[in-house]
Structure 1
Amino acid sequence: MKKYFFYGVIIISIILFCTGFINRENSNVYTNDLEGTLSYGIDEIPKDLEKVTNLSKRHEDIVCAVSRGLVSKSEDNKIVPSLASEIIKDSEGIQYEFKLRDDIFWSDGSKITPNDIVDFFKELIKQEDEENIQALLNVYGTKEFKAGKIIFETGVAIKGTENSVIIRLNSKNDNFLSELTKPQYRLRKYLVMWANIKKNYSALIYSGDYKIDYVSKDNMTLKRNEKSSINIISNINILNDDSAETSMAAYEVKQRDIVINPPQSELNKLAEQQRLITLPEMKATYLVINNKENSIPIQGRREIYNNISKAVESYQNLNSNEFDVAEGSFFREDKKDLTKLQARKVISNKEGEWNKPQILTLLCEDNNENRILSRSIQQWFKDNTNITIKYSLVKEEFKDEELKKRYDMLLINSEANVFDKSNLYFEFKEYLTENQNKILEKQIINKTNYDYSSLEESLFDNYNILPLVFYNENIAISNKISQFKLDGNGNIDFSTLK
């Protein structure tokens, strides 16, 4: 008996000794059972958070969680103060004064000062790619500073006072505050160190409600900033999942609390369980009907659009959470104009004769959204018409202008931001007629007029570029979560999690 007892003690000692060598990376992958911890998966744990150029929306979420900006955008697109307590704009709309709150702190407990924000903007202008800082490049002196022609302190109109930051623009910009709500403008210290976040995360201090507490190739943990002024979840565990299917499988065994855009096959079930949140996105898909040497007459283009609209509506009736049908509106928000939409619907249903082809060809980029639309359109035409739809899904080849000209139709994925309509129409520029391009150019010259109704009516009159669907963001949540919101830029607002 003593011999067995001796051997038992030896075995237990060996097990305990070996346990001490377990890799910390693996031991931190799942902390879902901890009180006040939520977890969700993304396709890759980011290595570089310095520039937003190569960040996905979910990587931007991390920047938003650990950083705050002067202003933010609520889910209903309202500009609200964040680090600022008050925003004073001069009568010309050129100078902005941001008065700072008294209760804003870095994660190390030190107070956030106006000079901290000025220093950050200085570094951001130097380091970030130009396309991501257009709001700041409209500030007096910033372009010259970025080009190395002047000194920031004496030549750039971004100044700190005792309790505020003052910014003066070159010219009036109605979108300035909206731009400042984007992730790249959120206050970060020692910006260059964010280029290697795994190496430097513990040396950084953070201005947001969370700080990065741990990073590995498989896991990033965000911990509540002790100086945060709101009551929020203590820990956010972000895990490396290679697909939505992987995240969903972990969700089913209670190892994920949030799944972003779960597989289409799961949406109806999640909705029935009341575990699905569906939120409107700015993503949209538009139909371009090529008119190669008038090969498809106006009546043909009208009927093609009418039938394709019926096809996507038929799919949406069975899968209501994926997207909303456009119903003739170029922007989701414009669907409220029922008079205009009804008039367009009547015109689209106008019957007439044309020489119908046996085959119509469709080209689009290879992504999940386009696969679903293409299959649905093809099947609907097979069931309801004598026309066969042949579609091609391509990757980089979609940029080939000559290839696109060889197809009857194209599906174009784009951002449909009603507050920046010009961006959408610029994307369409290569597909516009000569007259439509003149309308667009005239619109751009007249910068104060953002009414694109004349261009939209021309697009409908010609039936060359037409709206199809507006996509939704679908998020599966566990029973730990009772409230979940995205901000006006489509990023997760962790401060609202309950």
Structure 2
Amino acid sequence: MKKIIISITLSVIVIITILSFVEIDNSDENSSNNSIVYAVNSIPNELKDVSKLSTRDEDIICATSKGLVTKDNEGKITPSLASEINIKDDGIEYEFKIREDIYWSDGSRITAEDIREFFRELLKEDKDENIQSFLNVYGAKEFRDGKVTFETGVAIKASENILNIRLNKKDDKFLDELTKPQYRVRKYLMMWDDIASNYNRIVYSGEYKISNITKDGIELIKNSNSVESSNGKINIISDENEELSMAAFEVGDRDVVVNPPANQLNRLEGEGRLKTFNSDNGKYVCLNSNDDKLSLSLRRTLYFNLNMAMGEYQEQNSNSLELAEGSYFREDKDNLDKLQSRKVMTNSTSSKLPEIITILGRDNNENRSIVKHLQKWFEENTESKVRYTLVSAEEFNNLELRKRYDITLISEVADSKNKEEFYSALESYYTEKEESLYESIKKSNKQDFNPLEEQLFNNYTIVPLMFENKNVAISKTINNIEFDFYGNINFETLK
């Protein structure tokens, strides 16, 4: 009997020992095949035309494709597929030395000729408005018009590991243009128009390749030839909204949720599960100077009260925004003299607010939150009442509709390094005088937009309200997450 008991005991010990080794082995396997689950609201099937994609949609392009150069969150341009960049002939010619340690997902080396072929496809397929700077390449427009062949007429040449691009005229923003997602190198560009049918026939230049697509999402696995220490696998899951993503996040089914609901931010921060980044997205208000009841003095008073209201809003939503304090660009807040001068100007208020203040904005979660707060604040702190209308993007672009409202909420990318693009985006709101000044600045060699900014502010026609922050909910398994200049996740550093 004792022998039987001893035998059983020994058997149990052996089994437990074996199971313990099996468990250790599984643990090692899991750590080497780490999977990050990243939540988005939708996953489009058409990925060829980047201009149609949201920033989160672009993340798929950025995960699976690399460009010649990239731009980090601070706006610094660094080589990516290129190892070295030489600008020659007074800014007319760009020479890119292509790295020798870069590979397509099938193991073949990415060559200068491959990148040249991608640019041929891009020039052939993309819309003019998406590649404006690239149309400055010598022969590019003629190629699109069918007047020359790409091989003989376009000044994009590949020789061994060197890619040369020659422009028609100097363009200081050309290198900056190449950092945008649409210039990330992709093979078989036409196939990206139906990614679900073609993903397994495409080879990828990026950190990851698409290994599977289902109705629920996309599975990315790391390019086996990558030299980066990024994660082994990423599952991009489609949730209908951020609330559903957060519900899954709370039970451990999501690792990354970009822009979680505002009412969750303070809690997530307290739990150490929130990352907050500056962004270049700004919120501005157009005060209707065509409306007789909104005199200059009244517009100043209205802006003063809007700032007061947003000050309280910022206290309640400190993770979501930073007050503009009279600055059109976030970096300008370092200019204390300008800041103080505009603060003094705005504080000079004497006019009585109208009984009813009307606000127009695009319909989204952020604007809903802002206008509800403004409505409550004005009712509690003034004798005015706020009535607001939130509309679709198409309706919002109706210029006649805008004229009926006292205030129009404007959202724009405010990149201080590209002021021309910023002021161009505001053009539809300009008065005749502002339009004339804008056109004269555009035609000048210096292109100094400071006089236009001063006129907009001094007349209180288009004035800054706040700058948005980017918030990301991350699980305890995420050690590092970074974004590039355009708000796309840097997948090379995601761990």
Q: TM-score, normalised by structure 1?
A: 0.91
SS in 2 for 1:444: helix
Q: Can you give the 5+ residue segments of structure 2 that lack an aligned partner in the other structure?
A: 1-29
Instruction: Identify the match of residue 302 of structure 1 among 300, 303, 327.
Output: 300
Deviations 1:433-473 (A, max 9, x none): 22222221111001x42431111111121111101111111
Amino acid in the other structure paired with 2:452: L
The residue that corresponds to 2:64 in the other structure is 66
Is contact 2:103-2:205 (8 Å) kept? Answer: yes
In 2, Cα distance between the equivalents of 1:205 and 1:356? Answer: 62
The residue that corresponds to 2:286 in the other structure is 288
Deviations 1:355-406 (A, max 9, x none): 5321111111111111111111111111111111111112232222222211
Q: Offset at 1:199?
A: 1.2
The residue that corresponds to 1:343 in the other structure is 341
In 1, Cα distance between the equivalents of 2:352 and 2:264? Answer: 42
> 1:268 and 2:266 equivalent?
yes
Q: Offset at 1:312?
A: 1.0
Instruction: Identify the match of residue 87 of structure 1 among 55, 65, 85.
Output: 85
Aligned residue pairs, count: 466
Deviations 1:313-347 (A, max 9, x none): 11111110111111101111211111101100000
Deviations 1:256-302 (A, max 9, x none): 00001111111110111121111122222111111235322222111
In 2, Cα distance between the equivalents of 1:201 and 1:296? Answer: 56
The residue that corresponds to 2:479 in the other structure is 482
Deviations 1:149-168 (A, max 9, x none): 11000000000011110001
The residue that corresponds to 1:359 in the other structure is 356
SS in 2 for 1:102: coil
Instruction: Identify the match of residue 438 of structure 1 among 429, 436, 439.
Output: 436
In 1, Cα distance between the equivalents of 2:305 and 2:89? Answer: 51
Deviations 1:222-253 (A, max 9, x none): 00101001111000001110100111011001
C-alpha RMSD of the superposition: 1.6
The residue that corresponds to 2:128 in the other structure is 130
In 1, Cα distance between the equivalents of 2:426 and 2:201? Answer: 46
The residue that corresponds to 2:101 in the other structure is 103
The residue that corresponds to 1:169 in the other structure is 167
Instruction: Identify the match of residue 239 of structure 1 among 237, 240, 246.
Output: 237
In 1, Cα distance between the equivalents of 2:198 and 2:291? Answer: 59
The residue that corresponds to 2:374 in the other structure is 377
Q: Offset at 1:51?
A: 1.4
Matches within 5 A, 1:173-192: 173-192=171-190
Residues 101 and 293 of structure 1: CA distance in aligned 2, closer, same or farther (over 3 Å): closer
The residue that corresponds to 1:4 in the other structure is none
Is contact 1:89-1:95 (8 Å) kept? Answer: yes
The residue that corresponds to 1:18 in the other structure is none
The residue that corresponds to 1:390 in the other structure is 387
Greater Cα offset, 54-63 or 389-398: 389-398
Q: Offset at 1:53?
A: 2.2
Is contact 2:302-2:353 (8 Å) kept? Answer: no
Deviations 1:177-218 (A, max 9, x none): 111011111111111111111111111111111111111121
The residue that corresponds to 1:209 in the other structure is 207
The residue that corresponds to 1:312 in the other structure is 310
Amino acid in the other structure paired with 1:346: V
Q: Offset at 1:220?
A: 0.6
Q: Offset at 1:423?
A: 2.0
Amino acid in the other structure paired with 1:206: Y
SS in 2 for 1:495: coil
Is contact 2:286-2:408 (8 Å) kept? Answer: yes
Is contact 1:38-1:236 (8 Å) kept? Answer: yes
SS in 2 for 1:92: helix
Amino acid in the other structure paired with 1:81: P
Identity of aligned residues (%): 48
In 2, Cα distance between the equivalents of 1:368 and 1:216? Answer: 28
Is contact 1:219-1:238 (8 Å) kept? Answer: yes
Q: Can you give the 5+ residue segments of structure 1 that lack an aligned partner in the other structure?
A: 1-31
